[in-house]
Structure formats: C-alpha cells, structure tokens
C-alpha cells in the first residue's frame, strides 16, 4: 500500500513509524509511506497555510489553496483522500479493515479550527476522527490510522503476532492473560489455566470476557 501524508509537522512522523512492525513492513516494501510538508505548496514569503474565518469568530482555518495544489499534485487514479478531524466518522477496527484493502491513500492533516469547507466538498473522499477529543494537529491521528491499517496488510504480521481470533475480539473485550511465574508477589494464576483441561479453560475465558465487557464496555453487549 502507498500512503501519502500531508502535514505541517513532517518531523513528527520520524520515530513512531520507524519502529517495530511498521519499520518491518516498510523494509519489506509492503508499506510505501511518504510524508509531505504542506508549506511546500505555498507561494508567499511567509509560507502561509492559515487565514481568519469569514463571518468572524475565534481561531484560524487552513486556507484552501495550498491543500488543493498539494492534493492535486499527489493524488493518483485510485487514491482515497482522507481528512483527519474531530468532526469525521469515528475510526474503528472495521474501518481499518476496509482501508487495508485500498492501494493508495492520502491523509490530509490540519490544525487550528480546521479546514475551509471547500476542501471537504471538493477533495475529500472521507473524513475520519480517531475519537471524541481534540489534539493540537492531525499528525498523531494520522499515525494511529497508518499503524492500525499497516498491521492488517497481508504479510505484515508473523504467525505469532497475528490476532488468532479476530471474530471474538470484534464484539467482546479480552479475557485475562497470564504468563510465568505461576505465583508472583503472592498473586496466583487462576488454577483452571494450569489444569490442562482445555474445555474448562475455554469456558472460563468466555465467562471472563463477558464479565469484563459488562463491567467496562456495556455498550458492546447491546
């Protein structure tokens, strides 16, 4: 998959996407990620990317011209252009699975109070939010989406890392997990997990997952 990112903070992308699974995906050529500085598409001496809202009010908006020029130069035939903003559709594992089927994405990030509406109207195929909160700019949300999508690309995860039971993790929280030692600082691993009785273990895990979901995420049971 080819992912282009348009940002005012290209330096933020060095680091998080150069580690671990994403690093490996890039090395293997499964992810081709290119980060672009929006200011490269400005023409004035101050490389201006923002302006004041018509009609008044506080804050600044991303002005349309640099974004239009950048998107028009970066997008190709199959490119899905996606805006990141707190006003977008809520990103989810289901949306990550859908995006993993694309060949080309262009993530457009902003800051201030958001984008001139014509960016949305004329350029965006979709607008996503990683959750109901505001961060200073769209770089972190873009990285979250890149990470969640990349680990789903065929060949990225090894057998050990693959989520074995995706259908399960879809509608319930995980049951409690334990590794050695069997007793640690007086805290014992539940006896059933040491019993070797796989039917009982499966029953215990299903019950724990249900209890935990009811406690922490009752919305998932409805």
Q: Is 5 in the site for ligand 4G0 (CB under 6 A)?
A: no
Nearest to 70 by CA among 32, 34, 31: 34
Q: Is 51 in the site for ligand 4G0 (CB under 6 A)?
A: no
Interface of this chain with ligand 4G0, residues 135 to 154, rule: CB under 6 A = 135, 137-138, 141
Angle at CA of residue 96, ends 147 and 215, nearest 5°:
95
Residue 95, SS3?
helix
Based on the shown chain and the rule CB under 6 A, indicate whether residue 63 belongs to the binding site for ligand 4G0. Answer: no
Q: Which is nearer to ligand 4G0, 111 or 151 (CB)?
A: 111
User: Does residue 111 bind ligand 4G0 (CB under 6 A)?
Assistant: yes
Rule CB under 6 A: say whether 66 interacts with ligand 4G0: no
CB 24 within 8 A of CB 156: yes
| CA separation for the pair 112, 161 (Å, rounded) | 38
Q: What share of the chain is helix, strand, coil (3-state, %, to 5)?
A: 40, 20, 40
Candidate ranges 38-46, 78-86, 147-155, 194-202; the one touching ligand 4G0 (CB under 6 A): 78-86
Beta carbon of residue 210, minimum distance to ligand 4G0 (angstroms, whole number): 30
Residue 124 sits in the site that holds ligand 4G0 (CB under 6 A):
no
Cβ count within 10 A of residue 39:
15
CA pair distance 36, 10, nearest whole angstrom = 7
**What's the closest the beta carbon of residue 194 comes to ligand 4G0, in angstroms?**
43
Q: Is 129 an interacting residue with respect to ligand 4G0 (CB under 6 A)?
A: yes
The DSSP code for 139 is H
Binding site for ligand 4G0 (CB under 6 A): 84-86, 110-111, 113-114, 129-131, 133-135, 137-138, 141
């Amino acid at each position: 998959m080819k992912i282009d990112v348009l940002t005012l903070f290209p330096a933020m992308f060095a680091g998080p996407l150069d580690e671990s699974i994403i690093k490996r995906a890039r090395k293997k050529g499964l992810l081709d990620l290119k980060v672009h500085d929006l200011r490269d598409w400005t023409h004035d001496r101050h490389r201006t990317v923002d302006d004041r809202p018509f009609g008044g009010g506080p804050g600044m908006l991303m002005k349309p011209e640099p974004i239009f020029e950048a998107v028009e130069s970066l997008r190709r035939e199959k490119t899905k252009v996606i805006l990141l903003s707190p006003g977008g559709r809520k990103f989810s594992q289901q949306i990550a699975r859908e995006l993993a089927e694309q060949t080309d994405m262009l993530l457009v990030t902003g800051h201030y109070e958001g984008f001139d509406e014509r960016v949305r109207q004329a350029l965006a195929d979709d607008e996503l939010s990683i959750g109901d909160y505001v961060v200073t700019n769209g770089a972190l949300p873009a990285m979250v989406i890149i990470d969640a999508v990349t680990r789903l690309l065929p060949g990225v995860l090894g057998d050990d890392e693959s989520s074995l039971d995706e259908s399960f993790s879809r509608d319930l929280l995980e049951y409690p997990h334990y590794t050695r030692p069997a007793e640690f600082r007086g805290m014992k691993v539940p006896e059933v997990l040491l019993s070797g009785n796989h039917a009982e273990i499966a029953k215990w895990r299903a019950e724990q997952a249900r209890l935990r979901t009811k406690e922490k995420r009752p919305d998932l049971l409805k």
